[in-house]
Amino acid sequence: MTDHQPDGTSPPPPQVIVVGRANIDITVRIPRRPQPGRTTFASAPATTTAGGKSLNQARAAAGAGARTTLVANAGTDEWGTFLRRALTDAGVDVSHFQLIPSAPTGVAIVEVTPDAENHIVLALSPATELTADQVRDALRRLHAPTVLTQLDLPPDAVDAVIQHHRAETLIGNLVPHAALGSAVLAALDLFVCNEHEAAAILGRHHADPTIAAQELCGLGPRVAVVTAGARGAAYSTAEHIKLVPAPHVHAIDTTGAGDQFLGTLAARLAQNTPLGHAVADAVSAATAVVRA
């Protein structure tokens, strides 16, 4: 069934479809990480916010001006309702954001240290993991020039994205699920990860992110992008390799910076922005988040 706007017309199709997860973030700021058997007191009250990589990316894409749909699940608890409201308030289409009956919503515990680094533990809710059927149903109903998916979703869900998307640009993010391995990268137009994720895939860390991007590109995606924190982001195609530097700022919290980068990048590509300019815009957007 097609949804309609109040005037009876069909809503415009999305420009970006994000497929993945949504969860609640409980964030604490701590002076240092606790030692075994010891307690560290937080330096401020805990905050509870909408989170999850795909939810963050969808909100970032919408904030960058793209009509955005999130395909994800949460539970029918108070937190699931909170996530749906946060998405709606951000202008994200929630027609394929399902609240699963009797399922709890996933929760991430985020520890932020004085150096602005974050340490995250995610308690997944297995009952809210996307299924292949849910992905197929959403992608059959939706069409957008850009689809962005988490590669650490259950393998059947990732396979469904690859087989049923109708996008001009398919973007993958994160270390692929172990059952998929790096072979899945060949199905992507763009692969985006951070330096730590690149090292996990390549089996070694490269101090120069352009080298990591080049090696990832060699695994099959048309474009590989490696985010490098305060240094910016590197991207590689078959013909071109470049590092886009980030402006120097005093970072307060790096949580969500990578998602802001990726959501902005997806929006710009959907808006037909050239790759180099899209990466530069994404770096600027991520930088604004860490100093906020």
Domain boundaries, the chain: 16-20+52-104+128-290
* Closest residue by Cα to residue 223 from 161, 266, 166: 266
pLDDT at 20: 98
| pLDDT per residue as tens digits for the range 20-77 | 999 999 999 999 998 899 999 998 899 999 999 999 999 999 999 999 999 999 999 9
* Closest residue by Cα to residue 171 from 158, 183, 180, 181: 158
Query: Could you tell me the pLDDT band of residue 3, with boundaries at 50, 70 and 90?
Result: low
CA distance 68 to 191: 19
Question: Does residue 96 carry a pLDDT above 50?
Answer: yes
* Closest residue by Cα to residue 256 from 84, 27, 90: 27
- Calculate ∠ Cα 56-58-59, nearest 5°: 65
Question: Does residue 1 carry a pLDDT above 50?
Answer: no
Query: For the chain, how far is it from start to end, CA to CA, in angstroms?
Result: 41
CB 69 within 8 A of CB 14: yes
**Catalytic residue from among 25, 159, 259, 281:** 259
| pLDDT per residue as tens digits for the range 109-132 | 999 999 888 899 999 999 999 999
Residue with the bigger pLDDT between 13 and 164: it is 164
CA 211 to chain centre: 23
In this prediction, residues 157-167 reach a mean pLDDT of 97
- Calculate ∠ Cα 157-70-139, nearest 5°: 50
182 phi and psi, to 5 degrees?
Answer: -75, -10
**Which of the 8 DSSP states describes residue 223?**
E
Q: What is the pTM of this model?
A: 0.94
Question: Does residue 268 carry a pLDDT above 90?
Answer: yes
- 16-20+52-104+128-290 is classed CATH 3.40.50.620: no
CB 128 within 8 A of CB 75: yes
Question: Does residue 273 carry a pLDDT above 80?
Answer: yes
pLDDT at 253: 83
CB atoms within 10 A of CB 167: 19
Q: Out of 1-10, 172-181, 192-201, pick the least confident.
A: 1-10
Q: Out of 69-73, 155-159, 208-212, 244-248, pick the least confident.
A: 244-248
Torsion, Cα of 61, 173, 170, 138 (10° steps): -70
CA distance 145 to 169: 6
pLDDT at 2: 46
| 259 catalytic residue (yes or no) | yes
Query: Could you tell me the pLDDT band of residue 252, with boundaries at 50, 70 and 90?
Result: confident
Mean pLDDT score of the chain: 94
**Cα distances (angstroms) measured from residue 105 to each of 18, 72, 108, 210:** 18, 11, 10, 38
